[in-house]
């Protein structure tokens, strides 16, 4: 009996030693798999290896701009500059592939997870700040390294036009519309493009902000006098013709306003009330399409300001104009484009009768030969 008890004690000790050995082997195996992953995660989150530092400055004074928004074009990354105009982006480094988890039957999903862990570094950055013009061209940072000098981003101070429109005898209820055009050059030709419209306030002030440096022209738009104390729909109509800064009668002879970065221009304009007369012009032949563009301007001086409209129901061109000689241009868009031009005069009476002939557009054959 004593021998049997001793044998059982010896067998139990052997089993205990084998179980401890297996536990040690399992623990070592688990740690060998987990520790590299923990180390990789620690390197990824605790030891960033890629960063971009920069500063946002005023392009004119070269002074730093505080509290400016710096962001990527797709809005995936964004930060604010400090009181010295400085900013920084930190991009976490991805864990190396050999330190990732052991691939098993779901290795494709695990590889995708490792690939997605790569740092999503933007290729360009841009900055914005109230009072500065938003640039449409971001700064390329694809070749910028962490060890290089701080990346400079320049913002151009906005130019502004803050002016007044003075209407004689107005109590402030008449609000004028002001239009601003900017000179642009495309394919070697000069174009004046509409930038914005603004309405005057009760005191006649108007503001046009966020303007880039460049050349501009300013005008007031037509407006009929609708004063309830003097307006008579059956009597003579009065209105304010366009006034081109500073006091020109057409767009071509208007003064060009040159705006520098950060400049504030303060113009004053005083339109004059004049009698307006009905204008009704027809076409020599019915127009097949309702898509007709009507342009009218003082004769030999093309430009914006005056307007007439196309009455689709009656097939006529209608509107109101003050005394003067004008050029009317009509363009019909459709399967076959047609266009026509007519000169007419308003002289103290309604205009009715002259007809405009629309002529079909002609095609021009162009032969191109490449020579190398």
Q: Which of 18-27, 92-101, 107-116, 310-319 has the lowest mean pLDDT?
A: 107-116
Instruction: Note whether 238 and 168 are within 8 A (CB).
Output: no
Q: Which of 219, 245, 272 marks a domain boundary?
A: 272
Span 70-74, average pLDDT: 89
Distances (CA, A) of 96 to 48, 93, 115: 14, 9, 10
Question: pLDDT by residue (tens digit) across 232-249?
Answer: 667 788 889 999 999 898
Q: Where does the pLDDT of residue 228 fall: very low under 50, low under 70, confident under 90, or very high at 90 and above? A: low
Residue 165 and residue 115 share a domain: no
Residue 114 and residue 202 share a domain: no
Structure-token pair, residue 106: 């779901």
Question: pLDDT by residue (tens digit) across 334-369?
Answer: 777 888 888 999 998 998 877 888 777 777 778 888
Quote the domain boundaries for residue 24: 1-46
Residue 320 and residue 227 share a domain: no
pLDDT, averaged across the chain? 79
Q: How many domains does the chain have?
A: 4
Q: Which of 157, 186, 207 marks a domain boundary?
A: 157
Structure-token pair, residue 189: 């030709």
Q: Answer with the residue of higher pLDDT: 351 or 29.
A: 351
**What is the chain's Cα-based Rg?**
38
Q: Where does the pLDDT of residue 156 fall: very low under 50, low under 70, confident under 90, or very high at 90 and above? A: very high
How far is residue 77's CA from residue 290's CA, in Å, rounded to a whole number? 49
Residue 219 and residue 202 share a domain: yes
What SS3 state is found at 25?
helix
Q: Cα–chain-centroid distance for residue 5?
A: 92
Whether the predicted pLDDT of 304 surpasses 80: yes
Whether the predicted pLDDT of 123 surpasses 90: no
Residue 53 and residue 146 share a domain: yes
Residue 178 and residue 114 share a domain: no
Torsion of CA 249, 253, 254, 258, to 10 degrees: 180
Q: CATH number of the domain that 355 lies in?
A: 2.60.40
What's residue 170's pLDDT? 64
Contacts 24+ apart (CB under 8 A), 171-177: 172/202, 172/203, 172/204, 173/202, 174/223, 174/225, 174/227, 175/199, 175/200, 175/201, 175/202, 176/200, 176/204, 176/206, 176/220, 176/221, 176/223, 176/240, 176/271, 177/220, 177/221, 177/223
Whether the predicted pLDDT of 24 surpasses 50: no
Q: Which of 246, 272, 298 marks a domain boundary?
A: 272
Helices (H), the chain: 2-46, 107-116
Q: Where does the pLDDT of residue 12 fall: very low under 50, low under 70, confident under 90, or very high at 90 and above? A: low
How far is residue 79's CA from residue 122's CA, in Å, rounded to a whole number? 13
How far is residue 198's CA from residue 182's CA, in Å, rounded to a whole number? 15
Residue 232 and residue 170 share a domain: yes
What's residue 15's pLDDT? 46
Instruction: State the distance between the two ends of the chain, measured CA to CA, in whole angstroms.
Output: 110
The pTM of the full predicted model, rounded to 2 decimals, is 0.70
Q: CATH number of the domain that 137 lies in?
A: 2.60.40.1120
Q: What are phi and psi of 34, to 5 degrees?
A: -85, -40
How far is residue 177's CA from residue 200's CA, in Å, rounded to a whole number? 7
What's residue 322's pLDDT? 93
């Amino acid at each position: 009996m004593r021998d049997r008890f001793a044998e059982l004690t010896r067998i139990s000790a052997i089993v205990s030693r084998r179980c401890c050995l297996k536990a040690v082997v399992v623990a070592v195996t688990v740690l060998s798999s987990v520790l590299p992953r923990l180390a990789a995660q620690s390197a990824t989150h605790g030891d960033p290896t890629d960063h971009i530092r920069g500063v946002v400055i005023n392009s004119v004074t070269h002074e730093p701009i505080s509290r400016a928004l710096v962001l990527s074009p797709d809005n995936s990354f964004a930060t604010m500059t400090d009181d010295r105009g400085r900013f920084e982006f930190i991009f976490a480094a991805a864990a190396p592939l050999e330190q990732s988890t052991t691939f098993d039957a779901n290795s494709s999903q695990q590889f995708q997870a490792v690939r997605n862990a790569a740092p999503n570094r933007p290729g360009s950055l841009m900055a914005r700040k109230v009072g500065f013009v938003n640039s449409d061209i971001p700064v390329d940072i694809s070749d910028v390294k962490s060890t290089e000098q701080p990346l400079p981003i320049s913002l151009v101070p906005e130019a502004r036009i803050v002016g007044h429109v003075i209407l004689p005898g107005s109590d402030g209820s008449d609000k004028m519309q002001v239009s601003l055009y900017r000179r642009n050059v495309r394919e070697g030709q000069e174009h004046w493009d509409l930038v914005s419209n603004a309405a005057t306030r009760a005191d006649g002030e108007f503001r046009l902000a966020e303007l880039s440096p460049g050349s501009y022209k300013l005008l007031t738009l037509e407006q009929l006098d609708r004063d309830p104390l003097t307006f008579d729909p059956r009597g003579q109509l009065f209105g304010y013709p366009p006034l081109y800064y500073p006091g020109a009668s057409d767009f071509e002879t208007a003064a060009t306003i040159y705006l520098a970065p950060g400049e504030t221009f303060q113009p004053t304009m005083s339109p004059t009330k004049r009698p307006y007369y009905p204008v009704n012009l027809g076409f020599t032949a019915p127009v097949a399409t309702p898509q007709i563009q009507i342009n009218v301007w003082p004769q030999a001086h093309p430009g914006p300001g005056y307007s007439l409209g196309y009455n689709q129901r009656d097939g006529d061109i209608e509107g109101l104009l003050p005394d003067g000689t004008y050029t009317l241009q009509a363009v019909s868009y459709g399967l076959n484009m047609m266009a026509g031009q007519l000169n007419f005069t308003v002289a103290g009476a309604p205009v009715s009768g002259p007809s405009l002939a629309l002529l079909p557009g002609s095609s021009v054959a162009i032969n191109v030969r490449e020579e190398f």
